[in-house]
C-alpha cells in the first residue's frame, strides 16, 4: 500500500519591503515613480510597497529592504528622521538633486537664513528650519544616488529590476554630449553659440532640451571629473559675462563641488 502524502500549500515567498520617503522637495521624483503606470504594476507584484505617503495610507512601521529617499534635509526634525530611515533599511537610494546635493533650495546656503526667510514667508518667526539645505549623505550612508530634477523613470525601473534579480545596479554616467551624437543632433554650443552644459552633464534626460535646439541646463548634475573651467572659458569666448556664467552653475546642482567651485570662480 502506498504511503499517503500530506499535501501542504507551498510556503509563500516573502517579497522585499519597499519604503518611499520624502523630505524637503517638490515631490517631482516621487511623481516620476507614480508615472511609471503599467511598469509600476509589475514592480508592485515583485515588492511590498510598505510605506509610500504619496500613494498609500499605511503607517510607518518595521524595517525595509530598500528605501527610496527624495528631498534634502532642511528642517531640524528631518535630521533624526533620515537617521531613522537608514536604521530601518538594508539599502538606501537617494532620488534626484535635492536628496543627493541639496537641490534648488540649497541656493540659500550662500546667504544668512535670517535674510532669506522674510523673502518667502509672511511670518518668518514661526518657521523652524536649518541654516543649510543638506543632502542625505551628510547624515547617513547612501548606497546609490539616482540623478535628475526629476529622476528618469527609466533609470529607476532599471535599478529596481537589477536589484530584484540580485545584481549590483549600474547607472550610466557618461556626458550628455554622447547621447546627442547618437541621436545625430546638431551641437547647439558649436553651431549656435548657445551656453550648453551638456559637456559636463550626466546622461539621463534623453537629451530633451537639445532635441528642441535648446541648451542643456544640467538637470542631471555633473559627470565624474567634469572640466567645468574649460567650458566656462568657452562661455567667456562666446561673450557671456561672469555673472551669467555664475548663474549657469547655480541651478539644480549648485552644491556639487565642481559646480560650486566654478560659480565662485566667477563670483
Tens digit of each residue's pLDDT (9 = 90 or more) over 79-113: 999 999 999 999 999 999 999 999 999 999 999 99
- 71 and 117 in a common domain: yes
What was the pLDDT predicted at 6? 54
The residue among 164, 184, 204 that closes a domain is 164
Confidence of residue 14 (pLDDT cuts 50, 70, 90): confident
pLDDT-based confidence at residue 2 (cuts at 50, 70, 90) = very low
Q: Same domain, yes or no, for 69 and 197?
A: no
Residue 171 lies in a domain: no
Provide the domain count of the chain: 2
Lowest mean pLDDT across 3-12, 16-25, 44-53, 212-221: 3-12
Q: How confident is the model at residue 7 (pLDDT cuts 50, 70, 90)?
A: low
* Residue 68 and residue 119 in one domain: yes
**What mean pLDDT is predicted for residues 146-166?**
94
Which residue range forms the structural domain that includes residue 224? 176-265
Instruction: Give yes or no for residue 216 having a pLDDT over 80.
Output: yes
Same domain, 28 and 108: yes
Of 150, 148, 135, which Cα lies nearest the Cα of 29? 150
CA–CA separation, 137 and 127 (whole Å): 24
CA torsion sign for 29, 34, 35, 38 is positive
Tell me the three state secondary structure of residue 259: helix
Residue 7 counted as domain residue: no
Query: Does residue 182 belong to any structural domain of this protein?
Result: yes
140/73 same-domain check: yes
Polymer length in residues for the chain: 267
Residue 170 lies in a domain: no
Amino acid at each position: 500500500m502506498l504511503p499517503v502524502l500530506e499535501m501542504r500549500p507551498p510556503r509563500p515567498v516573502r517579497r522585499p519591503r519597499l519604503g518611499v520617503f520624502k523630505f524637503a522637495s517638490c515631490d517631482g521624483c516621487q511623481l516620476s515613480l507614480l508615472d511609471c503606470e503599467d511598469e509600476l504594476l509589475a514592480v508592485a507584484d515583485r515588492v511590498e510597497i510598505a510605506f509610500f505617503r504619496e500613494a498609500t495610507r499605511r503607517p510607518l512601521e518595521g524595517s525595509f529592504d530598500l528605501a527610496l529617499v527624495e528631498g534634502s534635509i532642511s528642517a531640524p526634525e528631518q535630521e533624526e528622521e533620515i537617521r531613522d530611515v537608514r536604521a530601518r533599511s538594508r539599502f538606501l537610494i537617494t532620488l534626484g538633486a535635492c536628496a543627493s546635493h541639496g537641490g534648488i533650495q540649497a541656493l540659500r546656503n550662500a546667504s544668512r537664513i535670517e535674510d532669506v526667510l522674510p523673502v518667502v514667508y509672511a511670518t518668518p518667526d514661526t518657521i523652524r528650519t536649518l541654516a543649510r539645505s543638506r543632502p542625505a549623505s551628510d547624515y547617513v550612508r547612501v548606497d546609490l544616488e539616482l540623478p535628475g530634477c526629476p529622476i528618469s523613470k527609466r533609470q529607476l525601473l532599471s535599478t529596481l529590476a537589477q536589484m530584484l534579480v540580485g545584481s549590483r545596479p549600474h547607472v550610466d554616467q557618461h556626458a550628455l554630449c554622447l547621447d546627442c551624437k547618437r541621436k545625430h543632433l546638431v551641437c547647439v554650443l558649436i553651431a549656435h553659440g548657445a551656453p550648453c552644459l551638456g559637456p559636463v552633464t550626466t546622461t539621463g534626460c534623453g537629451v530633451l532640451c537639445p532635441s528642441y535646439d535648446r541648451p542643456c541646463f544640467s538637470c542631471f548634475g555633473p559627470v565624474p571629473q567634469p572640466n567645468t573651467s574649460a567650458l566656462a572659458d568657452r562661455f567667456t569666448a562666446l561673450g557671456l559675462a561672469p555673472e551669467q556664467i555664475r548663474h549657469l552653475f547655480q541651478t539644480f546642482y549648485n552644491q556639487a563641488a565642481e559646480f560650486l567651485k566654478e560659480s565662485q570662480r566667477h563670483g
